[in-house]
Chain A
């Protein structure tokens, strides 16, 4: 049995007080991920129709406030206040807890809430004119899911995920000016690089941030990258450094850091990959 709760738009109050219960024991409302291939989230990767992004250890990556949204509402629904009719218009998004999963759905308010005045006939023959909202559409294909036990968040559209968990944006953001400077200061890159840093595209800035994370998270060493880079682009290296004078050189450095160059096992062909997917 599942439980449907919602988060309302309210300027004051704790995260818990903004969550209201709508109904317990609701049936199947949202589709699962059974038919999707799961791809580790990478902002530069474009997912196919049959793929879905996943973020591991999700609860560690979001704010303390948003952790309230990861709870199993099926177990603790009793703690939340019932959604009041007067709060109906302030619905922000729905959360459906079922079988250890949380499903999220954004509500694109005005699309589903009727703005027309409604004439109602109530018992005792008194008519009322009100502008009551008509209803909210349950979109079974919203594809924003969280597996409570595995602590994994699955989503298809980044903009939808950001609307619910703002911190997802940090995982996909572009490198700031300071971070671009930091990138240009790594020993792999020549200090006299003449590329205009202000003209680096948004896509490349995202890749720069990911490249910096490669050093922090995976502990890649400069010597190893120089050795690897020399196999494919020996002509670019001067004193074990590459001078980034144009966008092509920047691409080469980024591809070296991301290890996008490879040699096929059987035919021995040298290739470059444009997007990567980790194999299980």
Chain B
């Protein structure tokens, strides 16, 4: 099951790229054409007179819902791990390290105009993300207040996703962490 979780987190971490592409192309999925959603759209358009902004909000809501579901299922399909006190040698904020990489994804999404080409590039980036092990950086989780840290334990660098503000490696202690892959752990 752990491998399955690794796959979902890898897809989830690059979904924002799809989000940018869909907004740029003003692509409306079938489920957004549901009569009730169209009713909500008609009300919203009175207040926000830009179709693209409403579409952006709609897709963001979908992304947030997907991430909430992901966070909810993680404890059921993941292995539990822990970090003992005073075992972390170094701690480093990882958020900055991923931002340039994510800007790259945005530019790719903005520059492609063909959906088939986008799918190919998306699949390629998915395999790169999955293979990179440490690259499960999901900007949507930042909206939920999660932070990304590199924790060096006995010489091995692990990626830790947590809402806590970590500064002193000696104080880092977690009794229940969920394993996304062999190098990435999340505290929910």
Contact = CB atoms under 8 A, between A and B. Distances in A.
Interface of A: 24-25, 71, 74-79, 81-82
A238 B81 CA distance: 71
Contacts of B54: none
Contact of A75 (B81, B87, B177, B179): B87
B79 A82 contact: yes
B39 interface: no
B1 to A, nearest CB: 10
Interface in B63-103: 79-84, 87
A74 B185 CA distance: 17
Given A25-B82, A76-B87, A76-B153, 7 more contacts: A24-B80, A75-B84, A75-B87, A78-B81, A78-B153, A79-B154, A82-B182
B154 A71 contact: yes
B13 to A, nearest CB: 20
Contacts, number: 32
Contact of B179 (A25, A71, A82): A82
Contact of B81 (A24, A71, A74): A24
Contacts of B182: 81-82
A71 B84 CA distance: 14
B2 interface: yes
Contacts of B153: 76, 78-79
Interface of B: 2, 79-84, 87, 153-154, 156, 158, 177, 179, 182, 185
Most chain B beta-carbon neighbours within 10 Å: one of A24, A25, A78, A79: A78
A254 B86 CA distance: 51
A4 to B, nearest CB: 13
A78 B185 contact: yes
Nearest to B79: A82
Nearest to A71: B154
Contacts of B83: 78
Nearest to A81: B182
A77 B153 CA distance: 10
Nearest to A16: B156
A82 to B, nearest CB: 5
B2 A79 contact: no
Contacts of B2: 82
Contacts of A75: 84, 87, 154
Contacts of B80: 24-25
